[in-house]
């Protein structure tokens, strides 16, 4: 399986109300977190591959979120029940811990 397909498979498994970080996904796939972001930015199927559920290591949304910017990503996460502390996702509560 190519790296893009692996990233998309992992992201498609993140349940509503949870998030993963670019670093988590990068560690699983074996690529740099920035490459995870690049692959998600190129996502052509955001309905099946919910890239809005991926945040940075501090719980921050992507200001350059490909499907409307950071505010849209923030709204999508809140609508799914993701808890925020200030402008960051509460990773202690909402981080999805997936086995490799």
pTM of the model: 0.94
Q: What is the pLDDT of residue 48?
A: 93
The mean per-residue pLDDT over the stretch 68-94 comes to 96
Q: What is the pLDDT of residue 100?
A: 57
Q: By residue range, what is the domain housing residue 87?
A: 3-94
Q: Report the CATH number at residue 35.
A: 1.10.10.10
With respect to residue 100, please indicate whether it lies within any of the assigned structural domains: no
Please provide the average confidence, as pLDDT, over all residues in the chain: 94
| pLDDT bracket for residue 87 (50, 70, 90) | very high
Percent of the chain whose pLDDT exceeds 70: 98
DSSP string of 8-39, one letter each residue: HHHHHTPPTT-BEEHHHHHHHHTS-HHHHHHH
pLDDT(3) > 90: yes
Percent helix / strand / coil, the chain, rounded to 5: 45, 10, 45
Query: How many domains, the chain?
Result: 1
The mean per-residue pLDDT over the stretch 25-51 comes to 95
The structure tokens listed for 51 are: 């890239």
With respect to residue 74, please indicate whether it lies within any of the assigned structural domains: yes
Cα separation, 72 vs 68, whole angstroms: 5
DSSP string of 35-56, one letter each residue: HHHHHHHT-S-TTTS-GGGEE-
């Amino acid at each position: 399986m190519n790296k893009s397909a692996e990233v998309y498979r992992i992201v498609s498994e993140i349940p509503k109300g949870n998030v993963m970080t670019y670093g988590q996904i990068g560690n699983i796939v074996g690529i740099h977190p920035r490459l995870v972001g690049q692959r998600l930015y190129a996502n052509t199927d955001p309905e099946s591959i919910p890239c809005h559920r991926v945040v940075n290591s501090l719980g921050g949304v992507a200001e350059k979120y490909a499907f409307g910017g950071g505010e849209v990503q923030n709204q999508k996460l809140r609508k799914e029940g993701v808890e925020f502390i200030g402008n960051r996702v509460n990773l202690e509560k909402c981080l999805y811990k997936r086995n490799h």
